[in-house]
Amino acid sequence: MPMTVTLVLLTANNDAPALLQILAAHGRDLELRHVVDLPGLRALLPTLGPKARLLSYLSSVIVPADCLTAFGLGAYNIHPGSPAYPGVAPEAWAAYEHAAAFGVTLHVMEPVVDSGTIIDAEVLPVPGPKARPTMAQAARQALPMLLLRQAGPLSREEPLVPVKKLAWGDTRRTVSDYERMCRFSADISREEMERRLLSFGPPGPVQFTVEFHGRTFTLETPGGIMGHLDPPQPDRVLGWVCDTATKAGPLEVKLTVDGQEFLLRAGEHRPDVAAAGFGDGYSGFTWEAPTHFRDGRPHRVEAVCKGQPLPGSPRLATFARMETSQG
C-alpha cells in the first residue's frame, strides 16, 4: 500500500477552502493540512513524514531554509505575478511599465524570494488601462487556470517537472523599491505622479508622501477617506475603507449594484490594512450577492463612503450562476 502524501497549504487567503477542495479532488492518497503563518508551519514540522510537500499560496510568509528542507517532496510557491516580475508587488510594477500581459507563476521555493526554478505560469493579455487593479484582476483570472492544471502533479509523489523553460525577470523588486516609488519629490511632473498613483496605489493600503524643503507631507484622499473596492469574487464583493483624518471607528459604505443600494458597515478585520499601519485593520466590508444577481451576467458595482467613491469603483462584476435543483 503506497504511503500517503502530505500536502501542506500555507495561506491566509480567503480562497483556501476552495483550493483545498480542488487539491482533494485530484489526490488519491493525499493528506491535506492548512496553516496560515510561520509559527503554525513550524509547529507542524515534527509531525511530517518523508513524503511531504509545501504549497505556499499568495502568502506573505518568507519560509526560512530550515523549514524548506523539512519537505521531502519539495516546497513550491504560487507567485501572484508573471515571471517577468519577481519580488514585491508585481502587479504594481507591471502597471508602471504598461505590461501588455500579466499572470501568476508556480515555482520551487528557495531561501531567496522568487528565485527557484519555474514549474509553470499562466499569463493573460491585459486590455484597457494599465492600472494596478487591472493587473490584479488579470492575476485573479489566471490563478484558477494554473491551479487546475497543476493540482494533479502537486497531489502526487512524483517531482514536479517544468512545463517549459521559463526564466525570472532580471530585476527582483524589494519593499524598499516599492516605498521609494511612493515618495514624491517636489519637482515630480504631473504625468509621473499620475502614473505612480495608478500603479502603486490600491488594491491594498498605501501611503504616498511628498518631500518638500526638507519636510515630508502625507497625501490623503479627499476627506481623509482611504480604501478600495477589491476585484469581485464569484459570489461576493469585498473592500475596505477608513478615515485617516478623524481616525473614526467603522464607517458606513453605500454599495450600489445596478441602481439598487445596500448599506454596509466596514468593521471586518483586514490584516493587510493593519500591517500597513492604517488603524487596527477593522475596516473591511463584505457584500454577498443575493440570488437575483447570481445570473452570470455583468453588473455595475459602485462603492461610496462619505460622498467619496472608493478607488477601484465603479467596476463590473459577474457573479457565478446559482445551482438549481431538479425535481
Task: Assign 281 a pLDDT band (cuts: 50, 70, 90).
Answer: confident
How far is it, in rounded angstroms, from Cα 242 to Cα 100?
Answer: 33
How far is it, in rounded angstroms, from Cα 135 to Cα 125?
Answer: 10
pLDDT at residue 198 is higher than 80: yes
* Separate counts of helices (H) and strands (E) for the chain: 8, 18
The answer on 295 and 237 residing in a single domain is: yes
Domain that holds residue 199: 175-218
Last residue of a domain, one of 218, 238, 270: 218
How far is it, in rounded angstroms, from Cα 279 to Cα 46?
Answer: 37
- pLDDT for residue 60: 80
Question: What confidence tens digit (pLDDT) does each residue in 142-155 have?
Answer: 988 998 899 999 99
The answer on 199 and 275 residing in a single domain is: no
Q: Which residue has the cell 467603522?
A: 250
How far is it, in rounded angstroms, from Cα 23 to Cα 8?
Answer: 11
How far is it, in rounded angstroms, from Cα 250 to Cα 36?
Answer: 26
The answer on 149 and 23 residing in a single domain is: yes
User: Do 7 and 28 form a contact (C-beta atoms < 8 A)?
Assistant: no
The answer on 235 and 190 residing in a single domain is: no
- pLDDT for residue 221: 56
How far is it, in rounded angstroms, from Cα 259 to Cα 264?
Answer: 16
Q: Is the peptide bond before 80 cis (omega within 30 degrees of 0)?
A: no
Amino acid identity of 269?
Answer: H
- Domain with residue 289: its CATH number is 2.60.40
Secondary structure class of 143 (helix, strand, coil):
helix
The answer on 280 and 214 residing in a single domain is: no
Cα–chain center distance at 301: 20
Which whole number is the average pLDDT over 303-309?
86
Cα–chain center distance at 43: 25
Name, in order, each residue with C-beta under 8 angstroms of 215's C-beta and a sequence gap of 6 or more.
none
User: Do 262 and 299 form a contact (C-beta atoms < 8 A)?
Assistant: no
- pLDDT for residue 324: 55
The answer on 187 and 149 residing in a single domain is: no
pLDDT at residue 30 is higher than 80: yes
The answer on 53 and 143 residing in a single domain is: yes
Query: Is 305 within a domain?
Result: yes
DSSP of 253-322: EEEEETTEEEEEEE-EE-HHHHHTTSTTSEEEEEEEPPGGG-SSSEEEEEEEETTEEPTT-SEEEEPPPP
Task: From 295, 285, 275, select the one nearest 234 (Cα to Cα).
Answer: 295
User: Do 173 and 96 form a contact (C-beta atoms < 8 A)?
Assistant: no
H or E, element range at 105: strand 101-108
Amino acid identity of 320?
Answer: A
Joined together, the cell numbers standing for residue 5 give 502524501
Task: Round the average pLDDT of the chain to a whole number and report it.
Answer: 87
- pLDDT for residue 308: 80
Query: Is 163 within a domain?
Result: no
User: Do 104 and 15 form a contact (C-beta atoms < 8 A)?
Assistant: no
Which of 217 and 76 is assigned the larger pLDDT? 76
Query: Is 324 within a domain?
Result: no
How far is it, in rounded angstroms, from Cα 138 to Cα 45?
Answer: 35
Into how many domains does the chain fold?
3
Query: Is 165 within a domain?
Result: no
Question: Which residues lie across from 107 on neighbouring strands?
Answer: 77, 118
Quote the pTM value. Answer: 0.70
Question: What confidence tens digit (pLDDT) does each residue in 178-190 have?
Answer: 989 999 998 999 9
- pLDDT for residue 301: 93
- pLDDT for residue 327: 44
Query: Is 292 within a domain?
Result: yes
Joined together, the cell numbers standing for residue 128 give 484597457
The answer on 38 and 143 residing in a single domain is: yes
Query: Is 68 within a domain?
Result: yes
Query: Is 269 within a domain?
Result: yes
Query: Is 169 within a domain?
Result: no
Which whole number is the average pLDDT over 146-173?
92
